Amino acid sequence: MRLALSPEPISTTDDDGSDITMAPAQWSPQELRAMPPGEVATVAAQLRSFLIERVCAVGGHLGPNLGVVELTLALHRIFDSPHDALVFDTGHQAYVHKLLTGRAHLFGRLRRRGGLSGYPSRSESVHDWVENSHASTALAYADGLAKAFAARGQSERWVVPVIGDGALTGGLAFEALNNIGGAGHRRVIVVLNDNGRSYAPTSGALAGHLSALKEPLCQASGTGRLNLFTDLGFAYLGPIDGHDLTAVEQALHQAREAGGPVVVHTVTVKGKGYGPAEADDADCLHAVGTVNPATGTPDRAPAPTWTDVFGTELAHLGADHRDVVAVCAAMLQPTGLKRFADRFPERIFDVGIAEQHAVCSAAGLSMGGLHPVVAVYATFLNRAFDQLLLDVALHRLPVTLVLDRAGITGPDGPSHHGMWDHTLLSLVPGLRLAAPRDAATLRALLAEALADQDGPTALRFPKGTVGEDLPAVHRAGEVDLLTAAGDDVLLVGLGAMAGPCLTVRDRLAARGLTATVAAPRWALPLPDELVQLAARHRLVVTVEDSARTGGVGSVLAQACTDAAVRAPVHTLGLPRTFLTHGSRAELLATTGLDACGITTGVQLAWDTHHAA
């Protein structure tokens, strides 16, 4: 039996009217298990070609999935999904799994609103057990699943977490290894996808240990050297060439016979089979936008992003601030720290995918007399909240957090929207939070943060191009006024929301309402000047690309109540729900945070409080 990927493509039309060619779903795990071994290599080549074509066309995680083609084929041939649970960590390695479970025809709308998620999704398929896209979680899920199967009398079921792409560096993964290995009877087969990288090459002692296990003396069950996994109670098989289907299948068969728990150590190449990815030293084309498949690069040079502005300015400021060091959690390039690292290699610390350690380690750096800048995506700050609260803020340490991808991020979906950072940060005593509205204020506020030695500071900015500068016409303390004062409405635009508020002001003027647009430079603690401005208007509307709970609006409303300010405060922000994937513009529109939605929200609030 031979299965072609797309002998009869199905054509459809995208929202913008462009044609999309999609392949019909032709595979199932049952068909794959029945396939003669010689034909599986053909399928692997087809899968790899399909990934290059489709991901380059729509964007997504390319390098990680090219590296797990043969490995995923072997998993679906040896195990009976979904009876056996395959759990991918991190979820960006799951594209091949999606293709093999009936979703090839959906790849034309990968990571687009209403289309296929870029991560495992329980709503898409029974083959997706978890919706994980934060790293280092799969082993803990696997521990719980194995215990649940045993408790329900389903001890014949296997749980197979696939961890790698740097995710084993996370503390949660070690906690799970401790529990799985110590139990002695878990039917868990840990497949370690060792590609030597996360985004950048994996650093730390664990990376060195895995390299040692790959030396000839260590082969054949890791004999001859210390082996972390056998010491923790696992049987160990490897290292295995992760692109050799026969070798991987044999190892997985052998692991089943061992009874569990077992670690199958596979060695793969991130970006395998695609020249531009294999040649990309930065991150093997880990994630791409729309790119030319022949080159792996965009046809047009991208416009400067918020991340670019931050990275350039930090490298510039680093020359004058010798105490400034930078910390990242395996994401040197995506968080903008590459330029700083190139210029000051002795002042950059990559701790791997371990955000908790990043923040607590930064506390130690600060105690030692340095000023650390911890650059992480806003969504990943959730993991290190306790460290921020009790290891940094309790000691009033000068640590600066730079939170990239704050607010709506777009195609990566609910786990990656930076919706909670502002709410969490509002709980931290003594922390100052800056909300730059443009490149100029980002530069200025970063400099102010690095000069602050009284406690923690944070900057948050969104994903995407930075746009034009929005100069202030007047400054009142920590609040910039972007327009002349109006009497009716005070529009408080936080960060990137200041731009849409300027458009809304003009639309309100056409309706006979005068408005003042204010942009707080430092949102926490709340500037007293905002309360004073609120007292001069008949309505206050805050616009925030974050959750309404704990944001500027709720804090300002309480402050106005305490000060007996009569103007009502209405908050426009993100709803308390998990938002799906889609473009940033689409999701801002659906949540009422584009110019049209803000105008409607202001008008409704005005009509409610000031109806004749």
Q: Could you write out the three-class secondary structure of 393-423?
A: HCCCCCCEEEEECEECCCCCCCCCCECCHHH
CB 605 within 8 A of CB 537: no
For CA atoms 385, 391, 397, 399, the dihedral sign is negative
Q: Is 257 a catalytic residue?
A: no
Token pair in block for residue 338: 């590459």
Strands, E assignment, 335-488: 348-350, 371-377, 400-404, 432-434, 457-460, 474-476, 479-481
Helix (H) or strand (E) holding 587: helix 584-590
Tell me how far apart the alpha carbons of residues 609 and 612 are, in angstroms, rounded to a whole number.
9
Q: Is 112 a catalytic residue?
A: no
Give the active site residue among 54, 383, 405, 460.
383
Q: Is 443 a catalytic residue?
A: no
d(C-alpha 425, C-alpha 376), whole Å: 14
Catalytic residue among 249, 355, 544, 586: 355
For the beta carbon of residue 195, count every other beta carbon within 10 angstroms.
24
Nearest to 337 by CA among 303, 362, 314: 314
Query: 10 Å Cβ neighbour count for 174?
Result: 17
Angstrom CA distances, 452 to 10, 98, 400, 526, stand at 58, 48, 9, 17
Query: For residue 258, what are its two tokens?
Result: 């061992």
Going 537 to 539 to 545 to 550, the CA torsion angle's sign is positive
Centroid of chain to Cα 6: 31
Burial class (CB in 10 A: 0-12, 13-18, 19+), 608: exposed
Query: Residues 150, 183: contact at Cβ < 8 Å?
Result: no
Tell me which H or E stretch contains 38. helix 37-58
Tally of CB atoms within 10 A around 536: 13
Strand ranges (E), 175-281: 189-194, 235-241, 262-267
- Angstrom distance (rounded) from CA 297 to CA 289: 9
- Tell me phi and psi for residue 524, to 5 degrees: -130, 130
- Residues 420-446 as b or e (16 or more Cβ within 10 Å = b): bbbbbbbebebbbbbbbbbbbbbbebb
Find the DSSP H helices in 465-542.
Answer: 498-510, 528-534
Indicate the burial class of 234 (C-beta count within 10 angstroms; 0-12, 13-18, 19 or more).
Answer: buried
Strands laid side by side in the 489-493 sheet? 474-476, 479-481, 515-520, 489-493, 539-547, 569-574
The DSSP line for 102-133 is T-GGGGGGTTSTTS--SS--TTT-TT------
Active-site residue, selected from the candidate residues 187, 270, 272, 437:
270
For 115, 323, 332, 347, 459, the CA distances from 319, given in Å and listed in that order, are 46, 10, 19, 11, 20
Give the span between the Cα atoms of 318 and 45, in whole angstroms: 47
DSSP label of 389: I
The count of C-alpha atoms lying within 13 angstroms of the C-alpha of 307, restricted to the half-sphere facing its C-beta, is: 23
Q: Catalytic residue numbers?
A: 270, 355, 383
